[in-house]
């Protein structure tokens, strides 16, 4: 595939999501909040999904949420995922607004013990991929203590 | 059985369509040979399908004065058509064709081109050589998603990629919300395989699948097994559209476009953020098509839908109103989807799961053959059939009816 050499590491410099990854590097989970209606807006976009306003401020959220859904991947769909399997990509609904779902990975949990709507919390871990130079700190999730 | 829709949901919308019921007929259909990696080119695959569609309609290449396709690599455009057939006449063209939702919605645009006199016989084609290309790691279904920058920078680094992962996540949520079971997903895979076993052109024609085998298979992205996922194939299809009036003078029974509808999701391909996570935009498309056709669900003899994963058949049956939302699992149990004994024969050629992954174009070919009465796995007495097209951001419903 014709993509950046660092793929599937994120391009943390890409403007629309730079603040998300900059926050992760400082162990903060940051999501854009609409300056007009006050709702979180995810993914970042030009206009608020709720009120069409174009002004946002990145807000640090608690990092708590519930598990919306997940899968257990045992087949590496990308060669770069080879060292990860088996793993549990997931969507987490944020406590501040469950309509915001973060794509993430559940870690530090027996894959058979994952349950719907289980309370989870963010943890910041370096991620890296087979055959790809470098690492990036990413917001992954663990069962809430 | 025609459930009254509740208040229109707000996570998407129906594209406004004029009534074109009965204006357009599909007068010729053809599909290429379908296979695993074959070494063929997309050009040759599409060309073979078009040759067969022309033969089916009793038309010559020069009779085709309109062409619809999608701007994906190696599809047949006007220059490609002329190169393949050695012709050079003027042709109207549109990039609003191809497979997926476009195979369902193309007749709507064709109706306007026919009305406006831009063309009199319009060809829609689509083909892929993804099985051949996969061995070279180019092209294929994951690539367009990998190129999308929000996915590339917010989803893929977490491992939430590609399509089997997205839709296994949807399936698991559907299980939580509605109690859908592995066996119910398996019932779809098993029924479609059985339909393919009666369809000689299906890639999986010679491979049977029982529920026991399905349940014993390992998951690759739990809750999905390989059997929940579409094939990767080389193949394609083509269909020819003309006015219903002209079709009456042609070789085959007249099959008219009775209704068509197009639905849209406001979150596009960002499925993670779609408020109705376990729904498809058929919620918006199907009511438009049913109303235009003036039919109810009881009138439908067979259903086909774009089925990259088992959960898509289940969700589209619900979202198209064949059963209430959440009851798709119970609906598909047993022999419901079988071509010969089912209460709603579905993907009667085997679908993307067991016929070929040619992105829906062969579904339309199948529906036309069914309502003509010339399908391999023929539904007895079929007169009205549906193709439900899907891309994620959009879904479309096409209702085809044999004209007496
Ligand atoms: Zn707002």
Supply the ipTM of this predicted assembly: 0.98
Give the one of A11, A75, A104 whose C-beta lies nearest to B221's C-beta: A75
A127 CB neighbours in chain B (<8 A) are 157-158
Q: What is the mean pLDDT of residues B10-31?
A: 97
Q: What is the mean pLDDT of residues B316-345?
A: 98
Backbone angles phi, psi at B272, to 5 degrees: -55, -30
Mean pLDDT computed over every residue of chain B: 95
What are residue B181's DSSP bridge partners? none
pTM equals 0.96
- In A, residues 109-138, which contact B (CB 8 Å cutoff)? 116-117, 127, 136, 138
B32 pLDDT tier (thresholds 50, 70, 90): very high
Structure confidence by residue, pLDDT tens digits, B146-181 = 889 999 999 999 999 999 999 999 999 999 999 999
Tell if the CB–CB gap between A138 and B142 is shorter than 8 Å. Answer: no
Q: CA–CA separation, B185 vs A74, rounded Å?
A: 19
Q: CA–CA separation, B84 vs B123, rounded Å?
A: 14
Distance A21 CA to ligand 1 centre (A): 23
Q: CA–CA separation, B179 vs B172, rounded Å?
A: 10
A117 CB neighbours in chain B (<8 A) are 176
Q: Which residue has the tokens 């403007």?
A: A15
User: C-alpha angle A44/A49/A55, rounded to 5°?
Assistant: 60
B142 pLDDT tier (thresholds 50, 70, 90): confident
Q: Which residue has the tokens 């799961």?
A: B353
Do the domain assignments include residue B90? yes
pLDDT computed for residue B145 by the predictor: 83
Structure confidence by residue, pLDDT tens digits, B178-218 = 999 999 999 999 999 999 999 999 999 999 999 999 999 99
B9 pLDDT tier (thresholds 50, 70, 90): confident
A99 Cα to chain B: minimum distance (Å)? 7
- For B46-89, give the DSSP string: HHHHHHHHHHHHT--GGG--EEE--SSTT---HHHHHHHHT---
Interface test with B, best of A91, A97, A112, A128 (most B CBs within 10 A): A91
pLDDT computed for residue B134 by the predictor: 77
Domain count, chain B: 1
Tell if the CB–CB gap between A72 and B156 is shorter than 8 Å. Answer: no
Q: CA–CA separation, B246 vs B226, rounded Å?
A: 45
Q: CA–CA separation, B72 vs B128, rounded Å?
A: 10
In order of A14, A32, A54, the CA distances from A49 in angstroms are 21, 12, 10
B138 CB neighbours in chain A (<8 A) are 1
Give the one of A8, A20, A70 whose C-beta lies nearest to B156's C-beta: A8
Do the domain assignments include residue B147? no
Burial class of residue B200 in the structure, from the number of CB atoms within 10 Å of its CB (0-12 exposed, 13-18 middle, 19+ buried): exposed
What are residue B125's DSSP bridge partners? B238
Q: CA–CA separation, B260 vs B266, rounded Å?
A: 20
B404 pLDDT tier (thresholds 50, 70, 90): confident
B137 pLDDT tier (thresholds 50, 70, 90): very low
Kindly give, in sequence order, each residue whose CB lies less than 8 Å from that of residue B193, ignoring residues fewer than 6 positions away: B204, B207, B208, B209, B227, B350, B353, B354
pLDDT computed for residue A13 by the predictor: 96
Q: Taking Cα atoms as reference points, which of A145, A140, A141, A139 lies closest to residue A19?
A: A139
Q: CA–CA separation, B230 vs B162, rounded Å?
A: 13
Do the domain assignments include residue B379? no
CA dihedral of residues A33, A35, A37, A41 (deg, nearest 10): -30
Q: What is the mean pLDDT of residues B372-380?
A: 98
B236-261 as b/e, with b when 16 or more CB fall inside 10 Å? Answer: bbbbbbbbbeebeebebbbbbbbbbb
CATH number, domain of B36, equals 3.40.47.10
Interface test with B, best of A89, A111, A136 (most B CBs within 10 A): A89
Q: CA–CA separation, B123 vs B89, rounded Å?
A: 14
pLDDT computed for residue B4 by the predictor: 46
Tell if the CB–CB gap between B146 and A3 is shorter than 8 Å. Answer: yes
Q: What is the mean pLDDT of residues B349-361?
A: 98
Structure confidence by residue, pLDDT tens digits, B281-298 = 999 999 999 999 999 999
Q: What is the mean pLDDT of residues B335-354?
A: 98
Tell if the CB–CB gap between B272 and A8 is shorter than 8 Å. Answer: no
Q: Are B238 and B125 in contact (CB under 8 A)?
A: yes
Sequential pLDDT tens for chain A (145 residues): 567 889 999 999 999 999 999 999 999 999 999 999 999 999 999 999 889 999 999 999 999 999 999 999 999 999 999 999 999 999 999 999 999 999 999 999 999 999 999 999 999 999 999 999 999 999 999 999 8
Do the domain assignments include residue B210? no
Do the domain assignments include residue B46? yes
pLDDT computed for residue B2 by the predictor: 44
Kindly give, in sequence order, each residue whose CB lies less than 8 Å from that of residue B190, ignoring residues fewer than 6 positions away: B209, B210, B211, B214
Q: Please state the domain extents for chain A.
A: 15-143
pLDDT computed for residue B139 by the predictor: 55
Q: CA–CA separation, B229 vs A97, rounded Å?
A: 33
Q: Which domain holds residue B59?
A: 24-135+233-247
Do the domain assignments include residue B18? no
Q: Are strands A136-143 and B92-94 parallel, antiparallel or unpaired?
A: unpaired
pLDDT computed for residue B3 by the predictor: 46
């Amino acid at each position: 595939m014709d993509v950046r050499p660092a793929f599937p590491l994120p391009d943390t410099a890409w403007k629309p999501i730079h603040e998300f990854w900059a926050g992760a590097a400082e162990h903060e989970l940051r999501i854009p909040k609409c300056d007009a209606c006050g709702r979180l807006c995810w993914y970042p976009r030009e206009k608020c999904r709720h009120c069409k306003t174009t002004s946002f401020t990145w807000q640090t959220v608690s990092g708590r949420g519930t598990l919306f859904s997940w899968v257990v991947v045992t087949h590496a769909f990308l060669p770069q995922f080879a060292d990860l399997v088996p793993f549990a990509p997931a969507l987490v609904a944020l406590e501040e607004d469950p309509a915001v779902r973060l794509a993430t990975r559940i870690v530090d949990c027996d894959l058979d013990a994952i349950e719907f709507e289980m309370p989870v919390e963010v943890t910041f871990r370096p991620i890296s991929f087979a055959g790809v130079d470098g690492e990036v700190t990413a917001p992954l999730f663990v069962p809430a203590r | 059985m025609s459930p009254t829709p509740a208040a229109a949901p707000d996570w998407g919308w129906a594209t406004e369509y004029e009534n074109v019921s009965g204006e357009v007929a599909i007068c010729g259909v053809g599909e290429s040979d379908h296979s695993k990696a074959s070494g063929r080119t997309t050009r040759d695959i599409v060309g073979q399908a078009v040759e067969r569609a022309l033969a089916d309609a009793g038309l010559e290449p020069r009779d085709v004065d309109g062409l619809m396709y999608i701007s994906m690599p190696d599809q047949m455009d006007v220059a490609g058509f002329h190169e393949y057939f050695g012709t050079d006449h003027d042709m109207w063209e549109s990039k609003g064709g191809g497979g997926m939702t476009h195979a369902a919605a193309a007749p709507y645009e064709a109706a306007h081109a026919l009305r406006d006199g831009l063309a009199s016989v319009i060809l829609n084609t689509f083909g892929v050589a993804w099985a051949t290309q996969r061995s070279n790691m180019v092209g294929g279904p994951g690539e367009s998603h990998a190129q999308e920058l929000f996915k590339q920078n917010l989803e893929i680094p977490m491992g939430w990629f590609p399509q089997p992962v997205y839709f296994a996540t949807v399936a698991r949520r559907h299980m939580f919300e509605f109690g859908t079971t592995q066996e119910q997903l398996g019932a779809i895979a098993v029924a479609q395989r059985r339909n393919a076993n009666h369809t000689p052109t299906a890639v999986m024609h010679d491979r049977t699948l029982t529920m026991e085998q399905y349940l014993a298979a390992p998951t690759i992205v739990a809750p999905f097994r390989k059997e929940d996922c579409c094939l990767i194939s080389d193949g394609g299809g083509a269909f020819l559209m003309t006015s219903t009036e002209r079709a009456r003078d042609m070789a085959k029974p007249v099959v008219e476009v009775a209704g068509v509808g197009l639905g849209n999701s406001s979150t596009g391909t960002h499925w993670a953020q779609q408020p109705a996570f376990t729904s498809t935009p058929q919620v918006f498309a199907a009511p438009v098509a049913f109303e235009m056709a003036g039919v109810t669900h009881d009138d439908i003899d067979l259903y086909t839908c774009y089925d990259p994963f088992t959960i898509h058949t289940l969700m589209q049956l619900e979202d198209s109103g064949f059963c209430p939302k959440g009851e798709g699992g119970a609906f598909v149990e047993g022999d419901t989807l079988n071509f010969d004994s089912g209460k709603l024969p579905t993907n009667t050629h085997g679908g993307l799961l067991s016929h070929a992954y040619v992105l829906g174009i062969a579904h339309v070919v199948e529906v036309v053959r069914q309502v003509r009465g010339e399908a391999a796995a023929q539904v007895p007495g079929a007169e009205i059939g549906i193709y439900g097209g899907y891309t994620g951001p959009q879904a479309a419903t096409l209702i085809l009816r044999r004209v007496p």
